[in-house]
């Protein structure tokens, strides 16, 4: 079975914006992310992004705009992300099992890639990320100095989280 680090996107890989990051001029990769991704990949972790993108169902941006950001992200990270799952729905428009803290994105990834949750991690900056990870039996790290999801660990950024995971 495979070990995996699940990654939230906004606020973990790229700078978060109140009104969404959906164009390349607003898609800013955070400090230390390139190194963190390389360290985790070199240690044998599958890297899977699980991201809520309700701006799509709100009509603020399109899937094509999001895809352009993801193409850029993959190029910047040397294609080290193995898969990107996104939930385009908003609670006002649809009851979604995918949107975090729902777990369907995780369940699909675990089934497809034969992931062992007991060897795997979720890294996110919001409590909904941590709630979803805990429901799946993943170890959890909350970034940005908040611990309102009751995570296993709190770290400042993705590089610190990667070092935590790789700690002997």
> Does residue 157 have an active-site annotation?
no
On whether the CB atoms of residues 7 and 49 are closer than 8 A, the answer is: yes
Count other C-beta atoms under 10 Å from residue 79's C-beta.
10
Instruction: State the nearest-atom distance from the C-beta of 44 to Mg ion, in Å.
Output: 25
How many angstroms separate the CA atoms of 104 and 109, rounded? 9
Q: Which of 5, 7, 11, 20 binds Mg ion (CB under 5 A)?
A: 11
Q: Does 10 bind Mg ion (CB under 5 A)?
A: yes
- CA 78 from centre of chain: 17
Q: Does 125 bind Mg ion (CB under 5 A)?
A: yes
Nearer to Mg ion, 42 or 148 (CB): 148
Q: Which of 6, 7, 8, 117 binds Mg ion (CB under 5 A)?
A: 8
> Does residue 8 have an active-site annotation?
yes
Closest Cα to residue 163, out of 20, 27, 5, 9? 5
Q: Does 155 bind Mg ion (CB under 5 A)?
A: no
Question: Could you list the residues that contact Mg ion (CB under 5 A)?
Answer: 8, 10-11, 125
């Amino acid at each position: 079975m495979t070990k995996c680090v699940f990654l939230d996107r906004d606020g973990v890989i790229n700078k978060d914006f109140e009104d969404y990051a959906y164009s390349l001029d607003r898609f800013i990769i955070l400090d230390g992310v390139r190194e963190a991704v390389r360290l985790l990949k070199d240690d044998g972790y599958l890297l899977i992004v699980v991201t809520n993108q309700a701006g799509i169902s709100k009509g603020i941006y399109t899937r094509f705009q999001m895809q352009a950001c993801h193409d850029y992200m993959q190029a910047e990270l040397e294609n080290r992300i193995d898969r990107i799952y996104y939930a385009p729905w908003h609670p006002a428009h649809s009851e979604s099992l995918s949107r975090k803290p729902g777990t369907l994105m995780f369940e699909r990834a675990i089934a497809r890639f034969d992931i062992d949750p007991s060897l795997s991690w979720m890294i996110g900056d919001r409590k909904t990320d941590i709630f979803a990870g805990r429901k799946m039996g993943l170890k959890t790290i909350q970034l940005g100095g908040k611990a309102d999801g009751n995570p296993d660990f709190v770290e400042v950024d993705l590089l610190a989280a990667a070092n935590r995971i790789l700690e002997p």
